[in-house]
Amino acid sequence: MAEYLAFNIAEKVSKLIKIAYQEISLAWDVHRDLEKLHKTLTTIKAVLLDAELKQVHDNQLRVWLQELKDACYDAEDVLDEFEILALKKQLLKQRTIGKKKSEAIGRDEEKRRIVKMLSQDDPADEEEIPVLPIVGVGVVKAIKAGKGSDGDLGSMNLEKLQKALLVCLNAKKYLLVLDDVWNEDRRKWVELKQLFAGGAVGSKIVVTTRSSQVAKITGISTPLHLEALPYEKSLSLFLKFAFKKGEEKQRPNLVDIGEGIVKKCEGVPLVVKTLGSMLFSKTSEQEWKLVRDSETWELMEKDNETVSVLKLSYDQLSPPLKQCFAYCSLFPKDVVF
């Protein structure tokens, strides 16, 4: 047992040394201490096997091995904590430093229109905060049915929230983005909008939704409708997610099948990205044809529900991942642990 623990700890130390060298912000003493610990464990491993064999006839050695085992457990706990902290630091750096600029394939014109609308000066007598509704393609009835609680302000203390917002926004110009809004009750929208009335002239609100009714009740300007992507743009988006850069040139057979898949996506970016990502690790024509020729496409044409096609990605999951997916569905939307 002690031998196993020592080997396990040695592996952890080796991994942590690599992590430490990657983290230039770690103190040099940490590198040195890890190297020293690694050398010590190497020495311990060299004698452990012999000690394990001799402990049967040596009580003192047996006691020493028990103490070593306890020390190994403590060392393993410390190293686990160190590894978790190091990995968290790496993850934080990935999120905040060197983040790639996101690309919006096929939406250049829409981007220009949005920037133009947001940059326009408001009339001096404008009393209401300008709201720009952006309506996306692919209204999903099945998803919409589960959005009934969105925007429900009944459980919130509106008085406290309003006071906090007034202090935060008082005489300040702001841009508020409400993403994926489904609430179609105008009374609740008016109630919510009043909370943002303390901003300075020039403040604006952007609402993104897949419901034309939401756009109608929230916007005082003409909604911006994001039309379906053209086939060429859809194909570019699909290839970006389905292959590594330049790999599509080496697999023309899969590209041919992919073109058939893209045609069935009807320009819905969510479907294109989802299926492209799903096929990224698949290299056989049979797997790609299985997606292209799936009967699920007929459900999309019949019911006009994007969620039917997204089920294709679920069907490709392994049984354990399907269980994980089902487990995640038990948690309420936007739950925070």
Question: pLDDT value at position 33?
Answer: 67
Query: Measured at the alpha carbon of residue 47, what is the angle toward residues 15 and 30, in degrees to the nearest 5?
Result: 30
Residue numbers of the domain that contains 254: 231-328
| Length of the chain measured in residues | 337
79 contacts 19 by C-beta, under 8 angstroms:
no
Task: Name residue 57's amino acid.
Answer: H
Residues 263, 246 share a domain: yes
Query: Tokens for 291?
Result: 């997606």
Question: pLDDT value at position 259?
Answer: 95
Backbone angles phi, psi at 27, to 5 degrees: -65, 150
Residues 112, 219 share a domain: yes
Residues 245, 221 share a domain: no
Residues 50, 72 share a domain: yes
Question: pLDDT value at position 8?
Answer: 58
Question: pLDDT value at position 128?
Answer: 72
Residues 89, 21 share a domain: yes
Distance separating alpha carbons of residues 17 and 38, to the nearest angstrom: 9
Question: pLDDT value at position 242?
Answer: 93
Largest CA distance in the chain: 96
Q: How far is CA 104 from CA 85, 109, 236, 309, in A?
A: 34, 10, 11, 22
Strand blocks (E) in 167-298: 175-178, 204-209, 224-225
Q: How many helices (H) and strands (E) does the chain have?
A: 15, 4
Backbone angles phi, psi at 139, to 5 degrees: -70, 125
Residues 114, 221 share a domain: yes
Residues 204, 190 share a domain: yes
Question: pLDDT value at position 234?
Answer: 92
Question: pLDDT value at position 191?
Answer: 80
220 contacts 126 by C-beta, under 8 angstroms:
no
Distance separating alpha carbons of residues 253 and 284, to the nearest angstrom: 10
Distance separating alpha carbons of residues 205 and 219, to the nearest angstrom: 9
Neighbours of 151 (CB within 10 A): 17
Q: What is the pLDDT along the chain (337 residues), one digit of tens a residue?
A: 444 555 555 565 555 555 554 554 444 556 666 667 667 766 666 666 566 556 556 677 777 777 776 776 676 677 677 777 777 776 776 555 455 555 666 677 788 888 888 887 765 555 677 888 888 865 343 333 334 434 444 445 667 777 777 778 777 888 888 888 888 888 888 887 877 777 788 888 899 888 888 888 887 678 888 888 899 999 999 999 999 888 889 999 999 999 999 998 888 888 898 889 889 888 889 989 988 888 777 666 555 555 666 677 777 777 778 888 888 888 887 777 6
The tally of domains found in the chain comes to 3
Burial 81-111 (b: 16+ CB within 10 A, else e): ebeeebeeeeeeeeeeeeeeeeeebbbeeee
Task: Report if residue 31 sits inside a domain.
Answer: yes
Task: Name residue 326's amino acid.
Answer: A
